[in-house]
Structures are given as C-alpha cells and as structure tokens.
Structure 1
C-alpha cells in the first residue's frame, strides 16, 4: 500500500535537476564524464567542473568538486521549482516542520535554497539557471555515449514508506513500486511526467545509489561500455547492459573514478495523466531484470555514495536480494 499523494502541494517541484559530487582528481573525473558519457563542459576552474548533457540548455546537471580528503561523497541532489516564489514557500514549509532550510549563493544559479528531508538527505532547490546552447544536433561535438539529459536519482533510505510519504506530500507520484507482502521496499517517484525523478529503496541511508542520464539510441549504452574500457574503467562496468522490469528500459551501470555509480539508459514512458495507477512489483520474484539476464552483484545492492555530513541510519531489517553470488550458489547446490 502506498501513502496518499498531495496533487496540490504547497510549492511546485518540477523535476530532478543536478547532482554535486566530490572527486579526488578533477581532471580524471572530467575525462570520464566527457569521454565515456559524452557530457559537455559548461564552465570549469581549478576546483570545480560544471557539466551538462547534449540536450540540456540549463548550465549544469553534474557538478564535480575537488576534495582530496572527502572524495567519493555526494554533497547534494538538486531539484528545480517552477517560480521564484516557490522557493519562499519551500523555505517556510521546511522551517514549519523543523527541517533545515538555508539560503545560499550558488554559481550560475538564481536564488538557491538548501534543505534536508527527514532522514538527512541534503537537497538543493533553485528556480533558475544560466543557459547555454543545446548541442543535441551538433553532431560534430558528440563524444562517448552522447548522454542527453539527467533523468533521476536513486536514494537509499532506512524506511521506504516513511520517506515515500514525505515526498508524496510534495506532489511526487509513484509510477511503479516494489513490495514484499505489504512491506514497501522500493518507490519509483516522479514530478516531470515520466516514470522517474526519484527512486527510494530500503537500505542503510541516506546514500546516493546512482544518478542516471538518458541516451537517444540503444547502441549508445554499449558505447558507454566501450569508452569505459578504453579509458581503463572496464572493471567499472558493474551491471548490464540489460533491461529493467520496473520502467522497462535498457540500461548499464558504470562506476566512475571515485566509485560514484552512474546509469546510462534509453528513456521512459509518460505518466502525466492523473488516472494512471502505479504498477506493483513483487520483490519475492524480482531481481529488477525483465525476463532475462543474471542478477546484479551483491555490491550493486548495497554500495552507495554517502552524503557529506549525513549520518547513516540502518533499516530495521536489511534486505536480502537475489544477488549474482547467491544465484550461482543456489544453482550449484546439489
């Protein structure tokens, strides 16, 4: 059973927008995202690199921040709100609930608000960014997997239902969800009218499991793998290429030089209309593949990028997914 959704929330979050990661070697990470994924550098200096997908007009969807000691963490995940006034409404909404809310200055963005959800996931809200020309038909500039746009994040949370209820109050709807009996283990939530902006999966959190970019052609998923191999990150092709059950998209998961997990996939179906009901998946019979493909390695289910200064909270009971290691063990049992 899913929590009720507020279809007229107090302020209007429109989509997932950007993610801020810490990295140990800025040049190496830049090389990975430009050459393997095909992102475009909007601006950079000695300590920060701002990147966007080929179809993105807004200044950045990925920010790499040099941090030699704290590399491998996520600083914040970002969401866009529709109007500047939504930021003022959000500030009041979070403060009324005793949750952190602080105004900050962020380069290339308009007014920016830092808030946290109830488990301590650090969020960044803004209504505006500087823009750059879209490069989606500038084929001469294409590199790597030709990543088009940031699509979604997946977050680990110690209680999926409780966090799903929080984001449901903010107007996030579920396209699909994962249950074991009546226990909600995974919630696939959206604001922009496709089936994902935020996935919540029960595990020790808050932590960033992955962020995902779309590609226009299915073959670009294999191109991401080829370029990862050419750059020396072949072992970081962690899962896939394959096809998901939830969402139904083709995908591959890669680990970047600092261990951050990024997904490359071939887009989603639409979910704009209010009469569309979320699809339930039974966790007992699901490895998140659709009909074919082996389960993921155990580390795919449990490893994630921690958030800076956010204490980790374990769930009441750790999930026991069908990992590749478990699958092979059961297959070899007499």
Structure 2
C-alpha cells in the first residue's frame, strides 16, 4: 500500500559529478547565480538564494559526469524512521552516514536502477553573512546580482532501464504520488512524473534508450518568471553556455523550459513551473499515449534527437 503523502517533505539537494570542477563551479555561480557555501577537497557546496538549508547542490570532481546523491528531507524524525523501516522491510539495501555539512544523519539507499537516495531530517537553517543578508527577513539570502538568479532546485529527471519499477519504488516506499505518465502502444510505461508535495512533480523517470542503468537525464532549477528563462538564453549565448533546446513549452506538465549543458557535460534545465500546482488530493494519473507524445512540445520547435539520447555518464 502506498504510504500517505507527507513523509518526504521536499527535495533537499542533488550531487553532480564533473570532470572539470572549476569550470562547473563557475557555471553555477556566474551563470546561474548560486553561492558557494563551503568546500571539502574535491567537493564544493553551493546554494540557491531562496533555499533555507546549507546547500542545494553538491559538485564533486570525478572522471565522468553524472548524478551522485539525491537527498530528500523528511517531515520529521518519525517520518524518517517510517521510511527506513519500509525500505528495510522491502529488502532495499541501506546504511547510515553523516558526511555533509549542515546535515545530520542520512540514510543512504538506492532505487532499483542504482541511483543513490539519501533521506534525512536534521538540518541546519542557513544564516546569511552580512554581505548576503536580505532586506526581507522572510528570505534566507539576498537575491544574487549576477547570472540568472535561480530560486531553487526544482526536480530531478532520472534515466532508467525500467521506469515502472523505479516509479513504484518512489510511490510505495517513499510516498510519492504519480501525476502524469507516458504509456507506449505496447503497454510499457516510458516515463512517469511524481510529486512529494503540491508541486506537479519533484522526480521523473524516463526510459533510457541505451538500456543502461543509473544515469541522469537532467536536474532542473526554477526561475521566477518566463522572462527569466528568456534572459537565461541571452546570457547563455553571451557567456558561451551551450543551449541544447528551448525556450519552449512542454505539453506534459506545461513547464516553460530551456535546456543547457554545464561544462562537465550534465544537462541542466531552467524552468518556470511556479504557477502550476496539484492541489487535488484525488488527482487522477494523466496518461499520454505514444501518438500524443510523438507530437512533441506544446509549442516551440520539435524535440531534437539529443534530448532522447544524451545522458550522463555517457555510454560507450
């Protein structure tokens, strides 16, 4: 039985691997407007201005790009232990760690595809230094005066060899609810969008056409307005950031988007989904057919081939 919505409060942060740490840090600070909030050897901790926690993104030097850890904050200590008990009862491997600044104990596990998830409750609320102190006391940090100035880490899109098995891991063991999906003519589920909150989605699984496991399609950062996405496109061409596709509007989830690559090779989405919430407690799962999906975006240019084939780490 799927647990009630609410044990997972929200996405905490994501970790990306990059073969060019300095260039990736420059991308996220100069182009996106994140702030460095600590460094430990080959790992750099960064935060968006509207995040209340120590960090929103972890960059770690590795030979190949890809996704490291997705951290999910629970709604309390009891909620954390409920999810750990559910994972253990289902036979999912897990272990405890305490290896990130500003975060207490994390329970580390993996989805069926091998993507690492970290569940935690204890978290230190960010206190901005004088030079980053906001004028409004209900905002953790002053808005950045550089780059796009993204507000938060919005969602993570995993590539998966078996979409349904991984989506059901999120549903039955972590308490996410599905909002939309793509079903192929064969009956196979090719993608599913899920939420832990009243946002329309927090995590996505899409089919990895290579048949590989454990890869990343993209992580996404939310901007305040559509104009911010258009400005991001202008900033990208001025600063040499590679634009893969967009700005366009997705039909599924209706997100206005721009996809770029950071210097390490990971795909980054800039999105404006802030106006769409799923408030109905009995929201029906919306299913898109293979023919409907083949029509492409709601509007904008047709989906380009690399959107379906590029993932990190790269395949042979």
Q: TM-score range by the shorter chain?
A: 0.7 to 0.9
Question: Residue 288 and residue 30 in structure 1: after superposition, are their counterparts in 2 closer, same or farther (change >3 A)?
Answer: farther
Question: Following superposition of structure 1 onto structure 2, how do residues 235-274 of structure 1 map, counting pairs within 5 Å?
Answer: 236-268=242-274, 269-274=276-281
Question: Residue 7 and residue 98 in structure 1: after superposition, are their counterparts in 2 closer, same or farther (change >3 A)?
Answer: closer
Which residues of structure 2 form unaligned runs of 5+? 129-133
Q: Partners of 1:89 and 1:72 in 2: how far apart?
A: 33
Question: Residue 174 and residue 19 in structure 1: after superposition, are their counterparts in 2 closer, same or farther (change >3 A)?
Answer: same
Which residue of 115, 139, 145 corresponds with 2:109?
Answer: 115
Deviation at 1:277, TM superposition (A): 1.5
Deviation at 1:252, TM superposition (A): 0.4
Question: Following superposition of structure 1 onto structure 2, how do residues 203-282 of structure 1 map, counting pairs within 5 Å?
Answer: 203=208, 204=211, 205-233=213-241, 236-268=242-274, 269-282=276-289
Cα deviation per residue 1:212-253 (whole Å; 9 max; x = unaligned)? Answer: 1110121211222233333322xx210101000011121001
Q: SS at 2:229's partner residue?
A: helix
Question: Residue 297 and residue 73 in structure 1: after superposition, are their counterparts in 2 closer, same or farther (change >3 A)?
Answer: same
Other-structure match for 1:74: 67
Deviation at 1:137, TM superposition (A): 8.9
Q: Partners of 2:18 and 2:298 in 1: how far apart?
A: 37
Q: Structure 1 residues 121-130 or 44-53, which shifts more?
A: 44-53
Other-structure match for 1:304: 311
Number of residue pairs the alignment of both structures matches: 299
Deviation at 1:86, TM superposition (A): 2.9
Q: Partners of 1:63 and 1:19 in 2: how far apart?
A: 6
Cα deviation per residue 1:284-317 (whole Å; 9 max; x = unaligned)? Answer: 232574442222322211221249xxxx9xxxxx
Q: Partners of 1:160 and 1:46 in 2: how far apart?
A: 35
Q: Partners of 2:227 and 2:145 in 1: how far apart?
A: 14
Which residue of 120, 129, 140 corresponds with 2:123?
Answer: 129
Which residues of structure 1 form unaligned runs of 5+? 313-334
Cα deviation per residue 1:167-207 (whole Å; 9 max; x = unaligned)? Answer: 22132112211122333211110011111111111223321
Q: Which runs of 4+ in 1 moved over 4 A?
A: 133-140
Q: Structure 1 residues 183-192 or 218-227, which shifts more?
A: 218-227
Q: SS at 2:109's partner residue?
A: strand
Question: Residue 279 and residue 220 in structure 1: after superposition, are their counterparts in 2 closer, same or farther (change >3 A)?
Answer: same
Question: Is 1:83 paired with 2:79?
Answer: no
Q: Partners of 2:183 and 2:298 in 1: how far apart?
A: 18
Deviation at 1:262, TM superposition (A): 0.9
User: RMSD between aligned alpha carbons?
Assistant: 2.4
Other-structure match for 2:131: none
- Structure 1 length-normalised TM: 0.82
Q: Partners of 2:3 and 2:74 in 1: how far apart?
A: 15
Q: SS at 1:60's partner residue?
A: coil
Other-structure match for 1:8: 4
Q: SS at 1:305's partner residue?
A: coil
Q: Partners of 1:288 and 1:55 in 2: how far apart?
A: 36
